[in-house]
Structure 1
């Protein structure tokens, strides 16, 4: 719980009573590798803070190929925000890449926090702005780079992730085939 509160406090101030109010609405959730935190075609009803593990945001294209958009590891909030906020079916999956432990707040509790704590909306806005910037910074350079540079950039930006995720998912994230990634890894060793 301390990590979640510490994370939230990076984006705004809360007093002890407010921290207690939030803490009472948090529950623990564990999911196994390859299980889903949220699924396409379903409405997202919870926000999760990753205590332990790695998740990926992915979808299936019109050819049925599994495409990885992002990875998130410890100390990140995860939610399919469009689905969560608008009560609509999600178009993406949030899948556990490893066994994961989360601290979770349900939609109803999230709304109660929002209605009770003055300034909560500002804290949330700052959290999601930071997440959006991180997403853009991780994806934007990949568009113009060759495959080897994309892989080296990934290793530089996410050194702790490379050994925790399957090659197939990393290749998908980088926009290359698994065979190409294997060749690149062999050539740079």
Structure 2
């Protein structure tokens, strides 16, 4: 729980009573590897802070192939924000790639924090903007680069993830086949 509080304090001030309220609204959950945090076709009912583990945001294309959009690891929030905020069915899946420990909040719990803590919405907006900018900065370089460069960028941007995520998910994230990724990895290790 302390990781969550430290993270929040990077974006604004909270006094001890406010911190205690945040802790009271939070629920620690274990999400086993392979389990879904959120599923397409359902309304996202929780937002979570990843205390430990890795999740992936994915969807299925018209051929039924799983496409990995991005990964979420420790000290980041995970949610289908549009589904959560607007109470509409989700278009994406959020699944645990490893066993995960999450600190989750319900929609009502977050609303209560919003109405009780004066600067709560400012803190959440700053976190949302940072997350979106981080995502844009990761996706943009992928657009015009070859597969090897995309993989090297992945290693640079996510040095702790490469050995924690199955290659098939990394390949999907990079937009290449697992076979191509294996070749790239062999050429780099020479």
1:169 matched to which residue of 2?
169
2:46 matched to which residue of 1?
46
1:27 matched to which residue of 2?
27
How far off is 1:62 after superposition?
1.1
1:149 matched to which residue of 2?
149
1:85 matched to which residue of 2?
85
For 1:131 and 1:61, the matched residues in 2 are separated by: 25
Q: Deviations over 1:142-172 (max 9, x none)?
A: 1110000100111011110000001111000
**Unaligned residue ranges in structure 2 (runs of 5+):** none
2:105 matched to which residue of 1?
105
Q: Deviations over 1:66-125 (max 9, x none)?
A: 000111111111111000000000000111000000011111101111111111111100
For 2:96 and 2:83, the matched residues in 1 are separated by: 19
For 1:62 and 1:180, the matched residues in 2 are separated by: 22
For 2:23 and 2:52, the matched residues in 1 are separated by: 18
* Aligned-partner SS, 1:132: helix
For 2:89 and 2:71, the matched residues in 1 are separated by: 21
1:18 matched to which residue of 2?
18
**Unaligned residue ranges in structure 1 (runs of 5+):** none
* Aligned-partner SS, 2:163: coil
1:55 matched to which residue of 2?
55
TM-score normalised over the length of structure 1: 0.98
Report the RMSD for the aligned CA atoms in angstroms: 0.6
* Aligned-partner SS, 1:24: helix
For 1:184 and 1:109, the matched residues in 2 are separated by: 46
**Equivalent pairs, count:** 189
Q: Is 1:36 paired with 2:36?
A: yes
* Aligned-partner SS, 1:28: strand
